[in-house]
Amino acid sequence: MQATRRHLLGGLAALCALGGLSRPAAAGVKEINISYVKAPFNLQSIVMRRRQLLEKEFAADGITVTWHDLTTGPQQTQAMAAGALDIGGVLNTASVLMANASGNPVRIAAGVSRPARTFAILGKAGGPAGVRDLKGKSVAGPKGTVLHQLLVAALAREGLSVSDVEFINMDLPKTQAALLAGQVDAGLLAASLVIKSVAAGARVIATADGLVSPLLVMGVRDAFAREQPELLARVVKVHREAMALIEADREAAIALGAEEQGISLEEARTLAQWTNLIAVLEPTDVEAMAADVRFLLENGMLKQPVDPKALLLPLAMG
């Protein structure tokens, strides 16, 4: 913990020097658009928004911070491609890789978490008990995400493919509703939705642990990263300040997350244990992304190879 704190403080000092708190805002920039993603349990984003840390950072510059409730990776990367979103507050790297392979340059500016235990495949009550039981069954979940990757990996381990199931592209709240109503045989869910679904009778068939290495990051559209490096550095600085606040009073941050997600404090503590928050990426994360590229290519989820190292901004590595 002390090493992490020193790393954070050192990184914050460097970012303060780069961003320059007293520097004027870049000419013409009146608004920064960032996505707000609470799930699986993204405490940095929750703290930043609830404490208005970004708004305070840019108030003197006359820059408005606009939060957008875009909860899936593809929604965020599509908004970036359209120029409607500058920063993807929380993106899974599978979505980042797919976006870049499709010609949509999205860069990685910071780490968020390595939440392997928060992603799961669930069967409906009285339904599939294992991955092999999914053959010929309906499975709902968000396409082009780490959950989609989890489904493909789980099926592949059992000698099956996505063509062996009826995959229905659906966002997380709708997936949970369909699963609990028995309208689909299985669903791809994360975090508090997993806990609540199990309490309602669904069963966990598989988790990401041992199948994929989920990595959540802060993404940024390439044009913003190139044209507004100082503003981006300040956003990342605030993100790390939020991380420092979480580490300084973890219980208060967890309580804030519980309130924001509408879950009990006990459930929030469980999610906090599962989430594994980070501020920067490590070389092992880059290696895991390279392995993901190979997997996604082999399973037809990437249009062309992508070099993970080319997507990383220096800020992302601390």
Whether residue 68 is found in the same domain as residue 94: yes
Q: Domain containing 98 — which CATH number? A: 3.40.190.10
Identify the domain boundary among 158, 185, 207.
207
From the CB of residue 218, how many other CB atoms can be counted at a distance below 10 Å?
28
pLDDT on residue 25:
52
Tell me what the pLDDT averaged over the chain comes to.
92
Reading the block at residue 314, the tokens are 């220096």
Whether residue 232 is found in the same domain as residue 98: yes
Reading the block at residue 195, the tokens are 């806990």
Whether residue 108 is found in the same domain as residue 122: no
| The total number of structural domains that make up the chain | 2
Q: Is 290 exposed, middle or buried (0-12, 13-18, 19+ CB in 10 A)?
A: middle
Among the listed residues 49, 56, 41, 100, the one whose alpha carbon sits nearest the alpha carbon of residue 220: 100
pLDDT on residue 17:
45
Whether residue 46 is found in the same domain as residue 166: no
The stretch 143-148 carries a mean pLDDT of: 90
Give the range of the structural domain holding residue 107, as residue numbers without chain letter: 2-114+214-317
Whether residue 222 is found in the same domain as residue 313: yes
Whether residue 124 is found in the same domain as residue 199: yes
Map residue 23 onto helix, strand or coil.
coil
pLDDT in tens, 158-167: 999 999 999 9
Rounded-to-integer distance, Cα 306 and Cα 102, Å: 10
CA quadruple 235, 291, 118, 275: dihedral, nearest 10: -40
Among the listed residues 17, 5, 50, the one whose alpha carbon sits nearest the alpha carbon of residue 280: 5
Percent of the chain's residues with pLDDT above 90: 86
Q: What is the pTM of this model?
A: 0.85
Whether residue 108 is found in the same domain as residue 218: yes
Token pair 């840019």 is at which residue?
Answer: 58
Q: pLDDT at residue 5 above 80?
A: no
26: pLDDT confidence band, cut at 50, 70 and 90? low
Whether residue 43 is found in the same domain as residue 190: no
Identify the domain boundary among 207, 238, 268.
207
Whether residue 123 is found in the same domain as residue 271: no
Rounded-to-integer distance, Cα 14 and Cα 59, Å: 22
Whether residue 88 is found in the same domain as residue 220: yes
Contact of 49 with 36, CB cutoff 8 Å: yes
Q: pLDDT at residue 8 above 80?
A: no
Q: pLDDT at residue 23 above 50?
A: no
21: pLDDT confidence band, cut at 50, 70 and 90? very low
Whether residue 103 is found in the same domain as residue 218: yes
Reading the block at residue 108, the tokens are 């990685």
Whether residue 89 is found in the same domain as residue 225: yes
Identify the domain boundary among 184, 207, 230.
207
Contact of 95 with 77, CB cutoff 8 Å: yes
